[in-house]
Every structure is written in C-alpha cells, then in structure tokens.
C-alpha cells in the first residue's frame, strides 16, 4: 500500500496534507519519496530553526540518547538545568518551566496567572483577555483562549473565564480590564491569524493598563520566539518584559518542547505539586534545546536573521500579486491579490519550494540559518510565481 492510502486508512484525518511525502532532509533542502528536492521555507511551521538534521544538533541529541534518554522530573538532570540557565541568562526572565508543546506552555501560563491573582486577591479575579485572530492551541482551555469563533464549535462546553478584545483597540481593552481580570494574553505577531504584528501603540497600552491594575501580561511567543523575528524574543524587539512568556516550536530545533518563562513577579507563584509533567524537559529534548540556544542567541546570528528577513521583504514587495508583506524578521506574511495563497503554495511545490499559508496569506518561516544562496534561489522562484 502506498503512503498516501496508508495514511488515509490508519491516521485520523485532521490535516489537509499536501500531496507530498518527505523522506530525507539536510539543512534547508528536503527530498520527497521520488527523490525530488525542495528548498524549505517552512521549517516544519517554525520548528526546525537550524534546518533539517543540523550536525551539532544531531550529535548532541544522539549522544544524549545514548547517555541518559529519560528520567522522571523527580530527579535532577544536567541538560534541563543547562537549558533553563541559558534561557534566563539570555533574557530578563528569572525561572523556567519546561513542558512539551505550545498549548501546554499556555496552559501553564494561564494557571500561573490565575494563581498569582488568587494568592493576592482571592477568588473572582480569573478572567483572561485574549485578542481577536489570536491562536493559543488546541487543548480545551487554549482553544477557548483562541480569539477566533471558528474554533469555538462542536466541543461544548468550553472553558470559562476568557473574553476577547479586538486586536489594536486600546480603548476597548481599557474598558474590558474590569475587577475580574487577572491577565492579558497575546502574540506580538499573530502567526496563525495571518502573520500580523500588533501596533506598537497597542502594545504600550497593554503594558501601561495592566501595570496600573496589577494585571499580568502573558506573551505567547510559541511561534515568534527563539530568533524568529530577529531577536531571541520578540518582546526584545518591542523593548518590553511581559510577566510570562511562552515558547515552543523553534526552541527544540525539531524535538517537542515548550517552556514558560517567568519574571521576578511571577517566579514564585507555582510551588510543590501545583504543576508537573512526565516528559517536559526530558534530557534528549533539552540536549537539542541547548544547541539551538547556543547558536541562535548570538548577536551575529540574529543580525543575519534580520538581514535575510529584509532581503525577502525587499525582493517581493513590488511583485504583481503582492498586496502587502507583513510580519517581522523571518516570520513573513504575504497578502496576495488575483491569486490565492493556496495556489502560490501549490505552484511552489511544483517548482521545488515549500511554503505555508496562514488564513488567506502565504506564510514563510524558513530555517533561521538558511543558506543565503539557497534563500535567493527560493525567493527567485517565489517572485516568478508572484509576477506570473
Ligand atoms: C502562537 C501559538 N501558540 C500556541 C500554539 C500551539 O502550539 P502547539 O501546537 O505546540 O501546541 C501555536 C501553534 O501554532 C501558536 O502558533
């Protein structure tokens, strides 16, 4: 049986997959089962930050697999504390909790925010404000947190305690910050929502309003974090420090990991028995995290990410089918006209370049260390498609 039929018969059909089975990758090149090569502008939706099978990452992960593959979180392990120290040293955060995914990281952030408020103010202050067009995950609580009606279906009853503010509407936010609110949670660049950056003014409003009322600020950097926008964290681009930042995707370079970063104010909210995980911060995964952080949290590496982002934007902005180029760094959204995002992606596959969509836009999330010549070649192909 071929892979496509086998998938259809045995896998629950929740994905609209491309008709493409990938078998082998190196750097930013990946091959399908017929041996055709593609330049990767997806990095597995922002996960393979160092591309496919980076040598140093493979060595660290394989060595760790041969040394100590897993222990429970009841014991200390070096890869985990190293990864935490690196995250704290490279940011203004104080402590880290490791989990397995973006949704789990957000679940943990929500728990921290509610407990912070409970400890200080008692019950009745548990509402979390999120934004329209946000995406925070697929668990019941993070689905509810996600500010898109399309996700609030079928699975009733949904979790309580979320309200949605229109993105970039500071006046509406001010009106919504009533006495029952404990946190505001948002993405600096809404990824699944169409690669849209929040306005600088609205970000300032969030921080000013929340500070006045001791409401926590939670930044979901699951997609935008770990170098994607040209700084280790996108909060650094906007020069702010949310009380909690969540990470996942690019952090492990291809292994499942999430992390919750907490500042001085939130670092002691969770104590013994308040949270836990079987797999989170597993030694193999953290060996991967350590390599990613060693490479990405370097000013030259990050400057290169910004330069490659500028190159993409400059190259495509005047193409016939381009209405707007959005996002930051190597998180690129392309609003197209007279062609659909799906058509652009399909043509890319034909021509040997893989890309993503986000809502009605083309989305590019190349490996952060993508080779400049291969990037130029891929962007040439994209330009042809966008000018046809
Ligand atoms: C901003 C954001 N938050 C949370 C998630 C959920 O992450 P995961 O699929 O790892 O649970 C995603 C995934 O796309 C995301 O983009």
* Each residue's pLDDT expressed in tens, for the chain with a length of 388 residues: 699 999 999 999 999 999 999 999 999 999 999 999 999 999 999 999 999 999 999 999 999 999 999 999 999 999 999 999 999 999 999 999 999 999 999 999 999 999 999 999 999 999 999 999 999 999 999 999 999 999 999 999 999 999 999 999 999 999 999 999 999 999 999 999 999 999 999 999 999 999 999 999 999 999 999 999 999 999 999 999 999 999 999 999 999 999 999 999 999 999 999 999 999 999 999 999 999 999 999 999 999 999 999 999 999 999 999 999 999 999 999 999 999 999 999 999 999 999 999 999 999 999 999 999 999 999 999 999 999 9
**Beta-carbon contacts of residue 162 (< 8 Å; ≥ 6 apart):** 127, 128, 129, 130, 144, 145
Residues 180 and 127 sit within 8 Å (Cβ to Cβ): yes
Give the per-residue pLDDT at 25. Answer: 98
Please tell me whether the overall predicted TM-score, pTM, comes out greater than 0.85 for this model: yes
Answer whether 113's CB lies under 8 Å from 183's CB: yes
For 283, phi then psi, to 5°, come to: -60, -40
Q: Answer yes or no: is the C-beta of 227 below 6 A from any ligand 1 atom.
A: no
Q: What is the pLDDT of residue 1?
A: 67
- Best residue among 135, 185, 229 to mutate for probing ligand 1's pocket (most ligand atoms within 8 Å of CB) is 135
Q: Token pair of 141, please?
A: 């609580």
The whole-angstrom separation of Cα 301 and Cα 284 is 24
Does 248 contact ligand 1 (Cβ within 6 A)?
yes
Query: To test the ligand 1 pocket, which listed residue (248, 258, 277, 327) has its Cβ within 8 A of the most ligand atoms?
Result: 248
* Strand 258-262, strand 353-354: pairing: unpaired
Phi, psi of 53 (to 5 degrees): 50, 50
Per-residue pLDDT, 275: 98
Q: Does the beta carbon of 101 sit less than 6 angstroms from any atom of ligand 1?
A: yes
| Structure confidence at residue 266 (pLDDT) | 98
Domains and CATH numbers, the chain: 3-54+300-387 (3.90.1150.10), 68-296 (3.40.640.10)
Q: 259 by DSSP, 3-state: which?
A: strand
**How many C-beta neighbours within 10 Å does residue 24 have?**
13
């Amino acid at each position: 049986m071929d892979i496509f039929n086998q998938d259809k018969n045995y896998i629950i059909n929740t994905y609209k997959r491309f008709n493409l089975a990938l078998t082998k990758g190196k750097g930013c090149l990946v091959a399908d089962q017929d041996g055709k090569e593609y330049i990767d502008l997806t990095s597995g939706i922002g996960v393979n930050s160092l591309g496919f099978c980076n040598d140093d990452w493979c060595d660290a992960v394989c060595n760790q697999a041969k040394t100590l593959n897993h222990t429970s979180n009841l014991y200390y392990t070096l890869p985990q504390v190293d990864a935490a120290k690196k995250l704290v040293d490279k940011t203004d955060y104080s402590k880290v909790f490791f989990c397995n995914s973006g949704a789990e990281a957000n679940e943990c952030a929500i728990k921290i925010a509610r407990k912070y408020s409970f400890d200080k103010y008692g019950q009745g202050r548990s509402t979390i404000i999120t934004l329209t067009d946000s995406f925070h995950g697929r668990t019941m609580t993070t689905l509810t947190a996600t500010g898109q009606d399309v996700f609030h279906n079928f699975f009733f009853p949904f979790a309580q305690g979320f309200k949605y503010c229109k993105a970039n509407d500071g006046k509406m936010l001010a009106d919504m910050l009533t006495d029952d609110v404990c946190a505001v949670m948002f993405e600096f660049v809404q990824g699944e929502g169409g690669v849209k950056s929040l306005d600088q003014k609205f970000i300032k409003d969030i921080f000013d309003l929340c500070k006045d009322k001791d409401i926590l600020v939670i930044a979901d950097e699951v997609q935008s974090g770990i170098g994607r926008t040209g700084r280790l964290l996108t909060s650094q681009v906007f020069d702010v420090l949310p009380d909690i930042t969540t990470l996942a995707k690019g952090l492990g370079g291809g292994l499942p990991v999430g992390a919750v970063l907490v500042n001085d104010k939130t670092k002691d909210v969770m104590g013994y028995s308040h949270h836990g995980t079987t797999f989170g911060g597993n030694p193999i995964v953290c060996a991967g995290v350590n390599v990613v952080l060693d490479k990405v949290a370097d000013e030259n590496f990050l400057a290169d990410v910004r330069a490659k982002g500028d190159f993409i934007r400059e190259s495509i902005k005047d193409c016939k089918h381009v209405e707007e180029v959005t996002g930051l760094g190597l998180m690129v959204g392309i609003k197209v006209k007279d062609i659909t995002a799906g058509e652009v992606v399909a043509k890319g596959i034909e021509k040997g370049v893989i890309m993503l969509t986000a809502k009605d836009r083309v989305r590019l999330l190349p490996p952060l260390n993508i080779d400049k010549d291969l990037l130029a070649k891929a962007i040439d192909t994209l330009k042809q498609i966008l000018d046809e």
